[in-house]
Amino acid sequence: MPQFLNSTDAGFDAAFTRLLTMKREDAPDVDRAVAAIIEDVRARGDQSVIELTAKFDRMELTADRLVFSPAEIDAECAKVGPEDRAALELAADRIRAYHSRQMPEDQSWTDALGATLGWRWGPVGAAGLYVPGGLASYPSSVLMNAIPAKVAGVQRLVVCCPTPGGVVNPLVLFAARLAGVDQVYRIGGAQAIAALAYGTETIQPVDKITGPGNAYVAAAKRRVFGRVGIDMIAGPSEILVIADRANDPDWIALDLLSQAEHDESAQSILITDDAAFGASVAVAVDKRLETLERRAIAGASWRDYGAIITVRDLSEAADLSNRVAPEHLELCVADPEGLASRITHAGAIFLGAYTPEAIGDYVGGPNHVLPTARSARFSSGLSVVDFLKRTTITRMTPEALAAIGPAAARLARCESLEAHGLSVLARLSRLNGA
């Protein structure tokens, strides 16, 4: 059974705080193992990757087989049926259209003193996308990571996707082709992250790494950050649904289970202003769990981390939601736009009863790579901007330098940086005819 909380109960705030701070994932001490893997890949390159792939993925490879050949990709893509192909093409089109609108513009202007200022945007040179393999192999994640990179103008885009036991997901390779990926490597784990960051004889290093993975992948991304950029360190999936009594309990139950089925550590929370409705949703969840294919995973998530919270009104619901800062937030209420105006922290908001979060996972258009573990308080989902760099531009005329240079020299003197100040004063001296 999930937790049942009521905001009018004594001790509610303490119980709600405990809910927010629950430890929702196993945190094995993997950092030491990951550090050793990274150093080994740096030292031995391809051979290290090959040996680690044999050890962890039961795949015997040679250097020339680390990457899928065009012929292999052709063969796998041919296995994709017409309905799956059409669904992925629709998703790709919508994701591309949405992210194309995110492209920022270069700016340049001349201020009142005659100084020209501005900035310009440019893509990272190369990006590497990590895509989990095996049972957690998601072609939608390929599209969500690769398409923004291509829209940004990234010239070289590669994917690392493990194929445990040699099992390949044709949909992943088809999605990679749809998104314009240049190469797909059949490697995974911390060794793949290390190879992307530092390069090997076969694998060229990249500038930025994005994409989800297990604890080893997350630890590796932490360790290579600084050498390369990363998107985020994602935790287990989460959903918060704010719903009033006018909803179908079964719909809300399915929305909650849509995240619970991801992972036993996922979290699904319902906030409602009607206790009877919350109880009916709980009954609907139990009923659906009897037949759900991933009921063992979803059931454990719902039992250990699920919650149904009854509040006085929807205003209070919004306040609690902002404390949760959920990855996914559904507003299944009569006036979702009005309630959304009160939301300050959320990775993605889904408005109205006919906008299930699952639409956002696949074909809505916005990105499904979102901040978890309350990090929506300070970060955003993946976007085109994650694959861009902003370079500032400054040009001084003699008149502009004469106007603001003395202040720069003064501040340099305050900071005891003599050469800084002299570099300005030397030019001012020339302008003054000295």
Q: What is the dihedral of CA 320, 324, 329, 330, to 10 degrees?
A: -30
Q: Are 310 and 280 in contact (CB under 8 A)?
A: no
- As a whole-number percent, the residues of the chain with pLDDT over 90 amount to 92
What's the predicted TM-score (pTM) here? 0.94
Cα distance between residue 78 and residue 234, in whole Å: 33
- Band the pLDDT of 30: cuts 50, 70, 90: confident
| Catalytic, out of 264, 328, 357, 368 | 328
For 185-242, write each residue's pLDDT tens digit.
999 999 999 999 999 999 999 999 999 888 899 999 999 999 999 999 888 999 999 9
Dihedral sign for Cα atoms in the order 160, 138, 140, 347: negative
For 274-327, write each residue's pLDDT tens digit.
999 999 999 999 999 999 999 999 999 999 999 999 999 999 999 999 999 999
Residue 328 a catalytic site member: yes
For 369-414, write each residue's pLDDT tens digit.
999 999 999 999 999 999 999 999 999 999 999 999 999 999 999 9
| Catalytic, out of 76, 261, 327, 330 | 327
- Band the pLDDT of 50: cuts 50, 70, 90: very high
Average pLDDT over residues 154-182: 95
* CA 255 and chain centroid, separation: 20
Residue 238 a catalytic site member: no
Q: What is the pLDDT of residue 135?
A: 54
Average pLDDT over residues 102-114: 97
What domains sit in the chain, N to C, each tagged with a CATH number? 3-25+235-364 (3.40.50.1980), 31-77+122-230 (3.40.50.1980), 396-431 (no CATH)
Q: Are 402 and 428 in contact (CB under 8 A)?
A: yes
